[in-house]
Amino acid sequence: MTKEEFLIELMQVIGKPYIFGGSGPQFFDCSGLVQFALFKLKIGPPYDMTAHGLYNYYRNYSYELLLDKRDLGDLCFYGEANKITHCAICLNDDFIIEARGGDETTNSIEEAKKRGAQVSVSPLNSRKDLFTILRPNNLPWLIYSHQATP
């Protein structure tokens, strides 16, 4: 899949409702959206994971971005090292796509609508608890010499 095709896939889920435990294609929670996207790239994790589980998994198969320019497919993790509470995907240096606005009690489309909980594009810094950004080694459009295979 090309970078452009991946971006088109992501744009098609904007507005889908946030439902806790949802992994697409009709509704998502934050980790479900990230996993859905990574499976499209054929680099998804071996089983369903929480945001914290995704952080633990991908930190072994990714490059941590410090001052690097962020790019499509980079993974954003929010919270702290021992408790990642949210994850999203970078669209570019400034914006992310995320399933947001819900929590573990958001378990119906009606509840999601009432809360405005859905997949949306947000500024990268819209939350104050950004912990780290990881670039998966196997993104199809980026190749690193230190590549590892999950």
The residue among 70, 5, 85 whose CA lies nearest residue 37 is: 5
Does this model's pTM top 0.85? My answer is yes
Q: Which pLDDT does position 69 carry in this prediction?
A: 87
Q: Which pLDDT does position 68 carry in this prediction?
A: 74
Domains delineated in the chain: 3-136 (3.90.1720.10)
**11-69 pLDDT per residue, tens:** 999 999 999 999 999 999 999 999 999 999 999 999 999 999 999 999 999 989 876 78
Q: Which pLDDT does position 147 carry in this prediction?
A: 45
Q: Which pLDDT does position 129 carry in this prediction?
A: 96
Q: Beta strand 118-123 with 130-136: parallel, antiparallel or unpaired? A: unpaired
The residue among 91, 86, 78, 138 whose CA lies nearest residue 117 is: 86
Q: Which pLDDT does position 148 carry in this prediction?
A: 47
